Homo-oligomer: A and B are copies of this chain.
Amino acid sequence: MKHYTSIQDIDSLPNWIQEARALKAAPKAFKNLGADKTICLLFFNNSLRTRLSTQKAATNLDLEVMVMNFGSEGWALEYEDGTIMDQGTSEHIKEAAQVVSQFCDIVAIRAFATLTDKEKDEAELVLNGFKKYTSIPVVNMESSVGHPLQALADAITISEQNTKARPKVVLSWAPHPKALPHAVANSFTEMMLKQEADFVITHPEGYELNPEITKDATIEYNQEKALENADFVYVKNWSSYKDYGKVINQDKNWMMTKEKLGSAKFMHCLPVRRNVVVEDAVLDSDQSIVIAQANNRTYAAQIVLKKILEHLI
């Protein structure tokens, strides 16, 4: 594998999960794999879990880590070809991407959706710009349309907690005061469609995700019905895809509660707004596995970096 920009880059999910769990048991087992190599973590948006877990994973493999916040420490990049750059952008992605690749062996990038321009968001300007103009491997630390490190951590977590041959997994939309991207929901959906799972997506009408991504998934507008006999319930807000980036409904009845959850495990990528997305009683119960998910971010990143390093050598 060269890049890890979507979960389609995973060649064998069961093997990856098994290897990630082995890394979790012995994080320093491949300590020399990254020796004398450098990873650059480029943040175009803020981050807590992704920042720390990716840095930790890289360090476990002895990679040198250079962290850069492109917004506050750098300047605005241009993505269009042929522009006369006499306005706000100071450097073209063509140069920036080539330059970054002079100083490191792997580049990991976080660049969220703008939620204002669907076409540009779907073109993944930052991520694809780096893929196009560098020769080095590119890792997606959440882009406009996907968060494959999160989805891999989610798959690892389900594998650890699951007791059934074919668990029922529900992705349930939740209300939120702000317009949020689709990346986590997209990648989780793609991941569940790759697994042995009875997978259902539930959300109010109008919150349909990109139909290209959900075409093999079951969509159930009745949350109560969707949650019946669920083993894992992944709760997440996203803004409208059709009415792109808009908050069209904040119906509090979609908040996850202990009662609705039944005996299922509760999942969320975090950060989560308590008593808006999910009530305290869920997060504070043993059924919540959100901290285990966060912990597995390290091993998701580490298996990705391990695969990339093995390919590089």
Chain A residues with CB under 8 Å of chain B are 28, 36, 38, 40, 43, 46-49, 51-53, 55-56, 59, 64, 66, 68-69, 72-75, 78, 81-87, 89-92, 94-96, 98-100, 102-104, 177, 270-276, 280, 283-284, 290-291, 294-295, 297-298
A273: chain B residues within 8 A (beta carbon): 85-86, 89-91
Min C-beta distance of A42 to chain B, whole Å: 10
A64: chain B residues within 8 A (beta carbon): 59
A92: chain B residues within 8 A (beta carbon): 272, 274
Q: Is the CB of B78 within 8 A of A69?
A: no
Q: Is the CB of A75 within 8 A of B271?
A: yes
Q: Is the CB of B94 within 8 A of A52?
A: no
List the 4 closest A-B pairs by CB distance, nearest first: A91-B271, A85-B273, A102-B295, A52-B103
In the complex, 10 of the A-B residue pairs with CB atoms within 8 angstroms, ordered by the A residue number, are A38-B59, A40-B52, A48-B91, A52-B66, A78-B274, A81-B280, A84-B275, A85-B275, A99-B291, A102-B295
Residue A271 contacts which of B69, B86, B90 (CB distance < 8 angstroms)?
Answer: B90
A205 to B87, CA, bound (A): 25
Known interface pairs A46-B75, A82-B275; 15 further A-B residue pairs with C-beta atoms within 8 A, sorted by A's residue number? A28-B36, A38-B59, A40-B52, A46-B73, A49-B103, A53-B103, A78-B274, A81-B280, A84-B274, A86-B273, A92-B272, A94-B284, A95-B271, A95-B290, A98-B291
Q: Give the residue name and chain of the B residue nearest to A35 (CB).
A: B28
Q: Is the interface of A mostly helix, strand, loop or mixed?
A: mixed
Q: Is the CB of B272 within 8 A of A95?
A: yes
Residue A294 contacts which of B99, B177, B274 (CB distance < 8 angstroms)?
Answer: B99
A94: chain B residues within 8 A (beta carbon): 283-284
A78: chain B residues within 8 A (beta carbon): 274
Min C-beta distance of A92 to chain B, whole Å: 5
Known contacts: A82-B280, A85-B274, A85-B276. The answer to whether A102 contacts B55 by CB under 8 A is no
Q: Give the residue name and chain of the B residue nearest to A84 (CB).
A: B275
A280: chain B residues within 8 A (beta carbon): 81-82
Q: Is the CB of B49 within 8 A of A294?
A: no
A157 to B124, CA, bound (A): 34
Q: Is the CB of A68 within 8 A of B51?
A: yes
A48 to B28, CA, bound (A): 31
Min C-beta distance of A180 to chain B, whole Å: 10
Min C-beta distance of A146 to chain B, whole Å: 21
A94 to B297, CA, bound (A): 18
A275 to B46, CA, bound (A): 32
A38 to B54, CA, bound (A): 13
A259 to B261, CA, bound (A): 69
Q: Is the CB of A276 within 8 A of B59?
A: no
Residue A102 contacts which of B69, B86, B90, B298 (CB distance < 8 angstroms)?
Answer: B298
